[in-house]
Amino acid sequence: MLPDFQGLGIGVRMSDAVAQIHLDEGKRYYSKTAHPRMGEYRNKSSLWRATSMNGSFQSEDMMNSKSGFNRTLRINKVCFSHEFVGASNSLKQPAPVADPVAPKENKFTGNWWDK
């Protein structure tokens, strides 16, 4: 996601949509992330179920060459692991969308060419 669009919820919605497509096709969908906000979103969402590996630490080896010497740093990250369980109303049965603006009454009756 481009930096200008981060934090708007676009990534999690896209992830939910892709997961729902897989679920609608009869497939299971698992996802693992180390991003704190995405992980917390999934922890709180009824669309996702935490797996047994959720919240576990993952070690990552990184090379640091700032000093001119290559050395390995070990970084521990919290990883989030979830299975998508979906919504009770699938994309195949969308909820009705209410029009936020009441329709204007048409003051004309009949056909326009009759006027």
Q: 16: how many CB neighbours lie within 10 A of its CB?
A: 20
The predicted-structure confidence for 22-41, as pLDDT tens digits, reads as follows 999 999 999 999 888 899 99
Tens of pLDDT, residue by residue over 34-76, are 888 899 999 999 999 999 989 888 766 655 556 555 555 556 7
Q: Are 19 and 29 in contact (CB under 8 A)?
A: yes
Give which of 95, 79, 92, 80 is closest to 23, Cα–Cα: 92
CA torsion sign, 40 to 43 to 45 to 51?
Answer: positive
94 close to 73: Cβ distance less than 8 angstroms? no
Rounded CA gap, 86 and 88, in Å? Answer: 7
pTM over 0.95: no
